[in-house]
């Protein structure tokens, strides 16, 4: 099981250390060199930690000079500087390096995952008042409970033991999970060796079982409940195996991925500040990386003279 840090200073220091190990100090040789990329990423982690926007994090940094000194900031970056840094650092290639840095720091260079789980959840695209959602319709006996039809969809593969996120998939929902297993799982396979994968019935298909077991060499435990299950066993080899020899004990750990979604929404918020699709995708990636950073806390971090030491 895992715990998350509630200290913004520790979160900022770990984010700074991870970025220093994963990224060069500057993105270009002609950069102004006012701030390093690790320092800007630490500011973005603080922004996510406090559930605020770019203007908000600059105000927080102005009010917390000790935090600025801890990450080596000589001046406060303008909020537009942080917005441009988020666009650059949360781009596909760079954000993958940061996510991999958190995985290697938490689990080692070649992690072995006994139980992994995959699932997705919906996030709120804006802050919403519950009153204006659950209000009476024209009929006095009926209540309106529909929020909205489109929302940011966040899929992850995680380690059930440490609650570390191994890979992410960012989409617009609602969309079915059954055809998104490969997209979500393949990046995780390149970062860790997974032995068993747990998934709910939304991912149940013979094609998913066959690809995961025969191509990737990962045992799958997915209840065979897709479609309209009847008395007769499923026709597929692996779906029939799930019906006849389902491992309920190991499948019981699938709820760990639900715990991760709960941790993210409780600690970092369920509503996104971004409005456009690509901005929301970058914000979801930042949520995943910050979640991993907050977990790397049983390890004591010392930051001295520009060097980072992780000591158990």
Q: Considering 249, 267, 285, which residue would you say is the last residue of a domain?
A: 267
Per-residue pLDDT reduced to its tens digit, 5-48: 999 999 999 999 999 999 999 999 999 999 999 999 999 999 99
Q: What is the pLDDT of residue 301?
A: 47
Are 185 and 242 in the same domain? yes
Residue 164 lies in a domain: yes
Q: What is the pLDDT of residue 134?
A: 58
Residue 133 lies in a domain: yes
Per-residue pLDDT reduced to its tens digit, 142-188: 665 555 568 899 999 999 999 999 999 999 988 999 999 999 999 99
CA dist list (Å): 1 to 151, 161, 201, 296: 30, 6, 25, 12
**Taking Cα atoms as reference points, which of 117, 91, 121, 5 lies closest to residue 278?**
91
Using pLDDT thresholds of 50, 70 and 90, give the confidence band for residue 124. confident
- Provide, rounded to the nearest whole percent, the portion of the chain with pLDDT above 90: 74
Sign of the Cα pseudo-torsion (277, 283, 289, 295, in order): negative
Q: What is the pLDDT of residue 137?
A: 52
Q: Kindly report the CATH number assigned to the domain that includes residue 149.
A: 3.30.420
User: 């997209």: which residue's tokens?
Assistant: 183
Residue 1 lies in a domain: no
| Chain-centroid distance, C-alpha 19 | 17
**Taking Cα atoms as reference points, which of 188, 187, 182 lies closest to residue 116?**
188
Residue 105 lies in a domain: no
Q: Are 103 and 292 in contact (CB under 8 A)?
A: yes
What are the DSSP calls for 103-122, one per residue? HHHHH-SS-EEEEEEEEEEE
Are 26 and 47 in the same domain? yes
> Number of structural domains, the chain?
2
* Extended beta strands in the chain, E state: 112-122, 135-136, 143-144, 151-159, 165-173, 193-198, 219-221, 300-304, 307-311
Q: What is the pLDDT of residue 298?
A: 42
Q: Are 47 and 82 in contact (CB under 8 A)?
A: yes
Residue 52 lies in a domain: yes
Q: What range does the domain containing 307 cover?
A: 8-96+275-311
* Least confident span in 53-57, 68-72, 123-127, 285-289: 123-127
Per-residue pLDDT reduced to its tens digit, 81-106: 999 999 999 988 999 999 999 999 99
Q: Give counts: helices (H), strands (E), the chain.
A: 13, 9
Are 125 and 256 in the same domain? yes
Residue 104 lies in a domain: no
Which of 149-153, 224-228, 258-262 is the most confident on average?
Answer: 258-262
Q: Are 204 and 193 in contact (CB under 8 A)?
A: no
Are 140 and 217 in the same domain? yes
Q: What are phi and psi of 174, to 5 degrees?
A: -85, 135
Torsion of CA 170, 52, 265, 202, to 10 degrees: -10
Are 28 and 50 in the same domain? yes
* Omega before 174 within 30 of 0, i.e. cis: yes
**Taking Cα atoms as reference points, which of 59, 49, 36, 38 lies closest to residue 9?**
49
Res 247 pLDDT > 70 = yes
Residue 224 lies in a domain: yes
Are 242 and 119 in the same domain? yes
Using pLDDT thresholds of 50, 70 and 90, give the confidence band for residue 228. confident
Are 239 and 117 in the same domain? yes
Distance between CA atoms of residues 50 and 108, nearest Å: 28
Are 123 and 218 in the same domain? yes
| Chain-centroid distance, C-alpha 47 | 16
Are 155 and 26 in the same domain? no
**pTM for this one?**
0.89
Res 307 pLDDT > 60 = no
Residue 302's DSSP bridge partners are 309
Res 275 pLDDT > 90 = no
Residue 202 lies in a domain: yes
Are 126 and 261 in the same domain? yes
Are 84 and 114 in the same domain? no
Decide which of 71 and 130 is more confident. 71
Are 139 and 257 in the same domain? yes
């Amino acid at each position: 099981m895992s715990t998350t840090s509630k200290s913004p200073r520790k979160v900022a220091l770990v984010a700074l250390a991870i970025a220093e190990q994963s990224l060069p100090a500057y993105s270009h040789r002609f950069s102004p060199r006012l701030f390093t990329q690790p320092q800007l990423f630490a500011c973005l982690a603080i922004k996510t930690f406090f559930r605020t926007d770019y203007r908000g994090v600059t105000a927080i940094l102005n009010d917390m000079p000790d935090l600025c000194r801890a990450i080596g900031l000589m001046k406060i970056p303008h909020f537009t500087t942080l917005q441009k840094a988020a666009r650059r650092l949360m781009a596909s290639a760079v954000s993958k390096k940061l996510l991999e840095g958190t995985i290697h720091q938490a689990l080692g260079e070649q992690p072995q995952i006994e139980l992994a789980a995959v699932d997705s959840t919906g996030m709120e695209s804006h802050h919403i008042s519950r009153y204006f959602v659950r209000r009476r319709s024209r009929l006095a006996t009926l209540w309106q409970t529909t929020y909205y039809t489109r929302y940011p969809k966040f899929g992850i593969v995680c380690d059930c033991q440490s609650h570390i996120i191994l890979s992410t998939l960012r989409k617009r929902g609602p969309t079915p999970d059954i055809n998104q297993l490969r997209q979500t799982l393949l990046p995780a396979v390149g970062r860790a060796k997974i032995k068993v994968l747990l998934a709910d019935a939304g991912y149940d298909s013979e094609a998913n079982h066959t690809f995961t077991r025969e191509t990737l060499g990962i045992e799958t435990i997915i209840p065979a409940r897709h479609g309209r299950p009847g008395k007769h066993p499923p026709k597929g080899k692996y779906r029939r195996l799930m019906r006849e020899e389902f491992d309920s004990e190991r499948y019981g750990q699938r709820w760990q991925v639900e715990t991760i979604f709960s941790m993210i929404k409780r600690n970092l918020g369920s509503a996104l500040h971004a409005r456009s699709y690509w901005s929301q995708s970058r914000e979801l990636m930042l949520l995943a990386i910050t979640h991993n950073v907050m977990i790397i806390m049983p390890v004591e971090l010392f930051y001295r003279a520009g060097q980072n030491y992780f000591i158990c």
